Structures are given as structure tokens and as C-alpha cells.
Amino acid sequence: WGGKEKEAGLVGRSTPRVSVFACICEAKNLGPVSGPNRQRDLCTFCTISLDQEEVFRTRVFDKSVTPFYGEDFYFEIPRPFQCLSFYVYAKSVFQRDLPVGKVSIRKDDLCKYNGKEDWFGLQTVDPNSEVQGKVHLEMRLNEVITENGSIGQHLLVRIIECKELPLISGQNCDPYATVSLVGPARSDQKKTKVKKKTSNPHFDETFFFEVTRSSSYSKKSHFQVEEEDIEKLEIKVDLWNNENLAQDVFLGETRVSVKILRNDHIHKAWYLLQPKGNGSKSKSDDLGSLRLKLTYIEDTVLPSACYTPLCNLLLKSPDVKPISASAAHILGDICRERYEAVLPLARLLLHHNRFVPFVSAVAALELDNTQEANTIFRGNSLATRCIDDMMKIVGKNYLAVTLKPVIDEICESNKTCEIDPVKLKEGDNVEVNKENLQVYVQKVFSSITQSSSSCPPLMCDVFRSLRHLACKRFPGDPHVQYSAVSSFVFLRFFAVAVLSPHSFQLRPHHPDPEISRTLTLISKTIQTLGSWGSLSKKLSSFKETYMYDFFKSFQEDKCIEKVKKFLDEISSNVSKESSGLEDAVVLKEGEVQKRAQGRKRLGKKNFKKRWLRVTNRELSYHKHKGKEALCTISVKNIQAVEKLDESAFNRKNMFQVVHSEKPLYVQAGNCVEASEWLDVLGQVSRCNEGRLTTFHPSNYTAGAWQCCKNQNSNSPGCKPCTTTVMDNLQLDIDCDRETERIFSLLSSNDTKLQNMEDACATMVVYQGPQREQEEYSKFTIQEPKETFQTLQQLRNIMRELQNQHLIRNDTTAQYGSLDNPIVGKTS
């Protein structure tokens, strides 16, 4: 690379960033489990693991061999991994939970299932196949002179180090390695020392093996290794966890044939650890199946400067006339069938404060093509998809403040609310159920209609614009100004969140069937009450008689006036009055291991389970969930939030919160949890005046910082702090990654771009009545010349980005390196 490229920031390897959306749908025909559980009363749950590290689990499903889990999980993967696995466990009260089976998908195979929903057969969970990590080996042949003066050859095997070994019972393991020279008539084994409490042991031990016998050299050259020996010998390296009083736990193995040294007498490489016997599978009983839906996204993100042209072209979209000729509208046009295509565009526009003018322009275009006022914003258009995504991103905390308390009450009190006579159970009292449902609906409805002061300003700006555009398009309809807003805030926001609270982080798990039914009835009621504000729904329109009877009780409560007042407040130009002190919003909470403050020695006793909770005001930890805080730290006093080296306490997934007193050391449950804690705490404290620029990545013990050996406990850090550049806590947006996703979408739809370009050219040349081909009619082309120019700009930018990717793909890590270890046996 030359100087100009360096100045432009185009040099450097691209960075892969991985995210997974996994839906654990259901299981069927779960097989027998040994132990006290019986098939008829099987209580099961599922877990998701990265290699051997559990990152999520579902709720327990009671007494069924065909459980419906119905839980969604979205997470960023913060570290390298080999397999994404899904385990089904049988819950046991008196002993360890028993594995029913597993689905394990290698990273390289995830793309085969991307965007698909499939049934996967469960495989047996064999302890000898549950492996992860890699080992660094060096092998060489050395000539030696034997006691009788003849020349022989010895094989030197050096175990250098291992990386990413699994946790054992949640803690770092005590690993050691055995090294064996294996052949038809020999098996010489040697062993390293045990390394204590580390997942990345550094052994650096060398072992010697004789690979030829001195008597054989009378027949062949002294400088050649016997061919028959080389073909049949192999080095086997096994990793074990030292259990002291119990049986040692197998961590993985790798095998390397000695004949790899025939051409080059030195071999040095990284190897992925493999299951025992290279994963040979024995025939197992039918354990059942698990239905999964997976979306796997691996973005290879280039340096920021590479995305500037595409980003600028997209951000110009709100100013393009007509809007249909803009790059952003073209993206929505060619990806009309892919709902997720709008999300990166919405996030990019939000980050650069260009969302409101863009969505106003596309909403105006949609209204121009709408003939009746009562059908506005009914379909999945570019405008409605953009607004849907915006509300999910911006309105997350708004939902938590407004709905979470009442949703928690509904889920935990578990009162029966069924009012459909067909679905009533024996002993149910429909009048009592109706009363229960009415109480819940009133609480949800009141929470919503009294929440206008909490509605995010950006949502209010969008609603105000929609209201203005609807009145302009249908000036003779006095109700359209309300239906334009209620169709989003009630039908697409609040009602959907009530129906699926787990999808909006309002509940940790999918509710059970009875609670789901209650939430469904409440959601239907909220949709209808919201539409009453626009007078767009009448009682007579209900098909279900029981719903008709139920709704009659709400007419006396002046629901219409309350809805109109609420819609006026969130869409008018009048400033909202806040209640004063901002409500505390829980951003994240969960169980962690906390290092006791002020302890000077290492040890398991110094770590205690605590419930960690962070709001927009404070960080606190509690002995148990719901108990009083043992310690509270104002977020304004947080000076840094950083990862902690594993060597500090011989523990993985640790981070530190640096504040005015002693640092708070915390161990998260897994790598995904640790990454989420770092993100949330970093964002909530990003604007603090006293933030540090440097930190110590290890702890202060034995009179010195273990990272830099500085003996002054108050010395400045030895490592730069992570910079936090997000300008809005709710908008945790990586613009480079979003632009890369848009580029990927455009590239995968290159044929449609070409067809659209051909359509524009045809329309410009042929000025008479348009005889559009069926393919052309799918595009929105108002001004073909302007659209054609934008398409050409897009194609030119895409070609340059493709070239940048090709350049960086040429720098793939060498096979056998740490970043690209060898998989399986080599020879």
C-alpha cells in the first residue's frame, strides 16, 4: 500500500463481526432419559452454547415429550468459536440435570441454515465429544549418535501453549497434556506439568521419542528415516483437566502423522482440539427432534473510509426529488420481499439525524397513492417498515417504563381471563374471568394513555409529521389525523409488545400458554381501544360475540376522549411537561460473581454470587433479586468500565467498574453476558466528566499492579481506555457495520439493480404509452433520468467496495496459524 491509501485509512485487515438470531421453536418425540425422570413426566429446558460455554437457556417446560419453547435469542458473538450447540436437558430436583440430546452445528455450516427453519435430530451427549480450544505444537527430527556410534534419529515434540480451553463447573480448568507416539507395536506416552486455573496454559515443554532403531541403519542411509516407520507412526496430544480426587476430565485431542516431516524436518502449527477418536459416532437411540430457526450474520467490516461514498449517497436521500430516485428508496424497492433489509438503513439514518425527513418523504409518496382515508398505512410499505424499526430501537426504554410493571403483574399473578365460552375449562366462572380481564385491560390502557411525557422526542417528531401529511392528503376527514398515529403507536407498538413481551425484553422468557392467551385478549382489546380514537372501528365489526359483549363495558369510560388526548399529546407541537425527576429505567440486571472489596489474597471464597442491576441512574448489587442494595454506585461517578485480564484472578469473562472508591471486580456468567454488561455500562457512563483515559487491565496485589509492576496503587493506568463514541444511549449503532450490511443487500440483488437500470433507460428512450414488462412494474420509477443516475452511482460505489473486499480476502491467515488452525489429523 502506498502513502495515499494510508492517509485515507484504507490499509488494514477487515474485521469480521458475528451475530446470531436463534429461535428455539419446539421439540418432539423426546426419548427416554436414564435416572429418576420418566418419559411421561419429563420436564425439559434448552440451552444455547458457544462450544462448551452456555450463553442462554429457556424456561422449564413441564411434563411433555413435545414441549413448545417458542423463545427467541439475539446476541453478538464476542469471541472465536467452533460450534453453536443447542442442548435439551431433563430437569432434576435432587441431582444434576440430565442431558436428553443436542444439536451441534459447526461455524462453517451455519450459513447453510441461515434464514431457514428446520427440524434437527438430537444427538447423544458424549463427554468425550464435548471439546473446544486449540493447541500449538512444534515437531522436528534430530540426528543423534547412539552409544555404539551409529547415527539414529529422534523425534522432538514441543507443546508450546493452548488457547480457549473450556470452563469446568464455571471456573478455569487445571490443564495438562499427554503426548504419545503411537504405532502398530508401540505407544510411548509422556506428560506435561499441570497448569493451575487457566484456560490459556503456556507449557513450553519438549519431549523426545526414538523413531528409528540403530540396527536398521545398516540397510539404509544414515540420513533417511525408515519409510515403514514413518507411514505408521503418529503423535497424539490429549488435553486433560486435573481433578485431583476425581477422574480427570478429557478436554480434547489432536493427531499428527510423523510422515509430515519427510519433506521438511520441522513442523510448527496450531491445531483445533478434536473429540476423542476424532468424533466417531456410535449408533444411538432415537432421542427426538428440535425445531430451530437460525439467522447467522457475519459482517466483514472494512475500514471506515471505504464506506464514506455509499454512506454519503444514502444520507443524501431525503433531499432527492422525487424521493423514489434516492439510493435509500431504491434499496427498499429492490429488497421489498426482505423485511430485515430496512433495519440497517433505519439505523444509519437515525444515527445521522436524517430519519425524520426521509420517512416523511416516503410517507408522503405512499399517501399520494392511497385512495381512501381508512386504509392509510395498512400494508408493509417502506414507510411502515422504517417506522416499525425506529419504534423498536428508540422506544425500548419507553416500553419498559410504560408496560413492564403491569406485564410483570399479569405474568406473576396468573389469574384466569378466558372469556370465550368454547375455551372455558371445567369450573371456570366466566364473570370472574371477565372481571379479571377488565382490570388488566384498564391498567394497561391507563399506563399507555398516561405515558405521553415519556414518549421519546424522535417518535413524537415522526407522529407529528404523519399527522400533518394525513390531514393534507385527506382534508375533509376529521379523524384521519388520529388514525395516522394510532395505526403505529397502538397497533404496531403497544399491542405487539403486550402480545410478545419477551421479544421486547419486557419478560425473560416466552409466557406459558395460559398467560399467552390472557396477553392475546389484552392485546386485541388495546388495538380496538386505540382505534376508537379515530372512530375507525365500531362494535358491530366484531365477529366474536364474547368480544362484543366485553367491549360494551368500556364505552362508559370515555375511552375515545382519553385516546384522542394521548394522540394529541404525542403528535402536537406543544411541549410535553415532564414530571420532573426522570424515572429510573432498568437497563440490565442478572446474577454475577462479585469480588469482595479490599481482599488481598486470591481464592474462591473471595467471590460471592450477587444480583447486579444497572439503571439510567445507578449501578447496584444485591444479595438476591428483589432484596435491598448492598452497595450503590451513581452512574455519574463511574470513571471507566473495562475488561480484566484472565490472569488477574484466573477467571474468564471478568470486567471492572472503576469509580471514586476501590474498583468493583465482576465475573459475568459467559462471554455474551460480559460483552452486554460492558456495552450497557459503557454507554450509561459515556458522558461522565471524570472518565479516565487509561486503566490497569489487572489487579493490585502483593504491593504492585500485576500488569505493569508499578508499586504505586494510585498510579495512572498502563493501557488506554476503550472509547465510547455513541451519542445516544438508545442508539447503539455501528455505522460501518450497517453500511456493510446495506452493501451486502445491494450486492445480492445486483440483478434487480440491472433490471431497474434497464427499465429507466427504456422509459427515457420510449416516450409513448408505457408497455412495462412485468419485472419493471415492481419498481417505483417516477423520474427515470434521476433514478438512472442514482443507480449508476450505486453500481460504481459497489464495484469499488467489492475490490476492497477482494484485496483484504487475499490476506487470509495462513493455515496452521492461531487465526486459522488446522482441523483434524494431518499427514
**Band of pLDDT at residue 278, cut at 50, 70 and 90:** low
pLDDT of residue 6: 35
Q: How far apart are the first and last CA of the chain?
A: 37
Percent of the chain clearing pLDDT 90 (strictly above):
38
**Band of pLDDT at residue 702, cut at 50, 70 and 90:** confident
292 beta partners: 24, 118
Spatial CA neighbour of 201 closest among 236, 155, 241? 241
CATH class of this structure's domain 383-570 = mainly alpha
CA 342/CA 355 separation, integer angstroms = 12
**Band of pLDDT at residue 213, cut at 50, 70 and 90:** low
Strands 664-667 and 586-595: antiparallel
Name the average pLDDT for the chain. Answer: 83
Q: How many CB atoms lie within 10 A of CB 111?
A: 12
- Range 3-29 average pLDDT: 65
pLDDT of residue 724: 54
Asked if residue 26 has pLDDT above 70, the reply is yes
Domain edges within the chain:
15-123+285-296, 134-212+229-272, 302-369+737-801, 383-570, 586-596+606-720
**Band of pLDDT at residue 825, cut at 50, 70 and 90:** low
pLDDT of residue 770: 52
Q: Express each pLDDT in 107-123 by its tens digit.
A: 888 888 888 899 999 99
Q: Which CATH superfamily is domain 15-123+285-296 in?
A: C2 domain (2.60.40.150)
Q: Out of 445-454, 533-542, 550-559, which region has the weakest mean confidence (pLDDT)? A: 533-542
Q: How many CB atoms lie within 10 A of CB 753?
A: 19
SS (H, E, C) 563-606: HHHHHHHHHCCCCCCCCCCCCCCEEEEEEEEEECCCCCCCCHHH
Q: Express each pLDDT in 792-822 by its tens digit.
A: 999 999 999 999 988 876 556 677 787 778 8
> What type of residue sits at position 668?
A
54 beta partners: 49
Contact at 8 Å (CB) between 50 and 72? no
Query: Phi-psi category of 288—alpha, beta or left, where left has phi over 0 and alpha has psi -120 to 50?
Result: left
pLDDT of residue 228: 46
pLDDT of residue 285: 64
Take residue 738 and report the three cell numbers written for it: 450497517
**Band of pLDDT at residue 329, cut at 50, 70 and 90:** very high
Asked if residue 181 has pLDDT above 50, the reply is yes
Q: Out of 84-93, 141-150, 161-170, 769-778, which region has the weakest mean confidence (pLDDT)? A: 769-778
CA 471/CA 533 separation, integer angstroms = 16
Q: Give 227-289 as a DSSP string.
A: HHHHHH-EEEEEEEE--TTSPPEEEEEEEEEGGGGTT-SEEEEEEE-B-GGGGPPPP-----E
CA 236/CA 232 separation, integer angstroms = 13
Asked if residue 657 has pLDDT above 80, the reply is yes
CA 820/CA 810 separation, integer angstroms = 14
pLDDT of residue 218: 41
CA 283/CA 211 separation, integer angstroms = 37
Residue with cell 416516503: 362
**Band of pLDDT at residue 767, cut at 50, 70 and 90:** low
Q: Give the CA diameter of the chain.
A: 112
Phi, psi of 620 (to 5 degrees): -140, 155
Spatial CA neighbour of 485 closest among 553, 423, 432, 531? 531
Q: How many degrees, rounded to 5, is the angle at CA 231 between CA 228 and CA 232?
A: 90
Q: Out of 278-292, 323-337, 509-523, 678-692, which region has the weakest mean confidence (pLDDT)? A: 278-292
CA 130/CA 474 separation, integer angstroms = 64
- Range 454-477 average pLDDT: 91
Contact at 8 Å (CB) between 665 and 699? yes
Two domains, one topology: 15-123+285-296 and 586-596+606-720: no
Q: Out of 247-251, 279-283, 764-768, which region has the weakest mean confidence (pLDDT)? A: 279-283
pLDDT of residue 214: 44
pLDDT of residue 217: 39
Percent of the chain clearing pLDDT 70 (strictly above):
82
Take residue 360 and report the three cell numbers written for it: 416523511
pLDDT of residue 780: 86
Strands 116-121 and 640-643: unpaired
The side-by-side arrangement of strands in the sheet containing 15-28 is 68-77, 15-28, 289-301, 116-121
Provide the sign of the torsion angle of the four alpha carbons 318, 319, 320, 321, taken in this order: positive
pLDDT of residue 115: 83
Residue with cell 540396527: 215
Asked if residue 14 has pLDDT above 60, the reply is no
- Range 436-461 average pLDDT: 91
Distances (CA, A) of 706 to 117, 138, 645, 674, 714: 49, 30, 10, 22, 14
Q: How many degrees, rounded to 5, is the angle at CA 651 between CA 648 and CA 652?
A: 110
**Band of pLDDT at residue 469, cut at 50, 70 and 90:** very high
CA 481/CA 487 separation, integer angstroms = 11
**Band of pLDDT at residue 9, cut at 50, 70 and 90:** very low
361 or 418, which is more confident: 361
- Range 277-305 average pLDDT: 79
Take residue 770 and report the three cell numbers written for it: 408505457
Q: How many CB atoms lie within 10 A of CB 70?
A: 18
- Range 439-468 average pLDDT: 92
pLDDT of residue 222: 40
pLDDT of residue 813: 67
Asked if residue 718 has pLDDT above 60, the reply is yes
Phi, psi of 208 (to 5 degrees): -115, 135
Asked if residue 728 has pLDDT above 60, the reply is no
pLDDT of residue 555: 61
Contact at 8 Å (CB) between 448 and 574? no
**Band of pLDDT at residue 219, cut at 50, 70 and 90:** very low
- Range 152-176 average pLDDT: 86
For the chain, give percent helix, strand, coil, nearest 5. Answer: 40, 25, 35
Spatial CA neighbour of 142 closest among 211, 220, 204? 211
Choose from 35-49, 68-82, 738-752 the range with maximum mean pLDDT: 738-752
Contact at 8 Å (CB) between 322 and 365? yes
Asked if residue 537 has pLDDT above 60, the reply is no
**Band of pLDDT at residue 688, cut at 50, 70 and 90:** confident
Q: Out of 251-265, 563-577, 751-765, which region has the weakest mean confidence (pLDDT)? A: 563-577
**Band of pLDDT at residue 584, cut at 50, 70 and 90:** low
Which ranges in 579-708 belong to alpha helices (H)?
646-649, 671-684
Contact at 8 Å (CB) between 355 and 387? no
Take residue 462 and report the three cell numbers written for it: 415522526
CA 485/CA 530 separation, integer angstroms = 10
Architecture per CATH, domain 586-596+606-720, reads as: Roll (2.30)
Q: Express each pLDDT in 438-448 by its tens digit.
A: 999 999 999 99
Architecture per CATH, domain 134-212+229-272, reads as: Sandwich (2.60)
326 or 764, which is more confident: 326
Where in 712-814 does DSSP place strands (E)?
A: 719-720
Take residue 822 and report the three cell numbers written for it: 488446522
Strands 694-695 and 186-191: unpaired
> What type of residue sits at position 396?
K
**Band of pLDDT at residue 656, cut at 50, 70 and 90:** very high
Q: Which residues, 6+ apart, have CB-to-CB distance to 161 below 8 Å?
A: 135, 136, 200, 201, 202, 203, 204
- Range 521-525 average pLDDT: 91
Q: How many CB atoms lie within 10 A of CB 480?
A: 24
